[in-house]
């Protein structure tokens, strides 16, 4: 999968979301009725859920079924990435570009020659 695949799928799926009353969750098909703060709050909520699962893993809530915790953690991490793409779309930017630029910027800062290629 490529970032562009996620971007397109997010764009196509967004109009399908419903609220608890069964009505469209967004008044605009592209989700631009939500502010940037609303999209980043949703992303932060998913990151918080990931942190909560990690906490439960550390304290042993999953017992011998560590894979259940890992699976749930992976789901929340995926949710964070999906919302990150939606935030970028709200900004009319691409997640792929943001990741590319930031990865290479940090490599430069830490003196690493590891770079992502365009």
**Cα Rg, the chain, nearest whole Å:** 17
Q: For residue 62, which of 48, 73, 76, 78 has the smallest C-alpha distance?
A: 73
Domain ranges across the chain: 3-108
One CATH from 1.10.287, 1.10.1070, 1.20.1050, 1.10.3470 for 3-108: 1.10.287
Spatial distance between the Cα atoms of 17 and 25, rounded to a whole number of angstroms: 5
| pLDDT for res 118 | 82
The reported pTM is 0.93
53 burial level (CB within 10 Å; 0-12, 13-18, 19+): buried
pLDDT along the chain (118 residues), means of 10: 96 96 96 97 98 97 95 98 98 97 98 95
CA–CA gap between residue 52 and residue 17 (Å, rounded): 25
């Amino acid at each position: 999968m490529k970032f562009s695949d996620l971007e397109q799928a997010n764009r196509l799926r967004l109009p399908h979301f419903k609220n608890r009353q069964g009505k469209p969750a967004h008044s605009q098909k592209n989700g631009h009725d939500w502010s940037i703060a609303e999209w980043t709050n949703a992303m932060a909520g998913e990151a918080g859920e990931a942190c909560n699962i990690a906490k439960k893993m550390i304290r042993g809530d999953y017992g011998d079924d560590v894979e259940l915790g890992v699976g749930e953690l992976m789901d929340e991490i995926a949710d964070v990435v999906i919302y990150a793409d939606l935030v970028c779309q709200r900004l009319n930017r691409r997640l792929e570009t943001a990741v590319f630029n930031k990865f290479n910027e940090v490599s430069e800062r830490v003196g690493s020659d590891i770079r992502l290629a365009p």
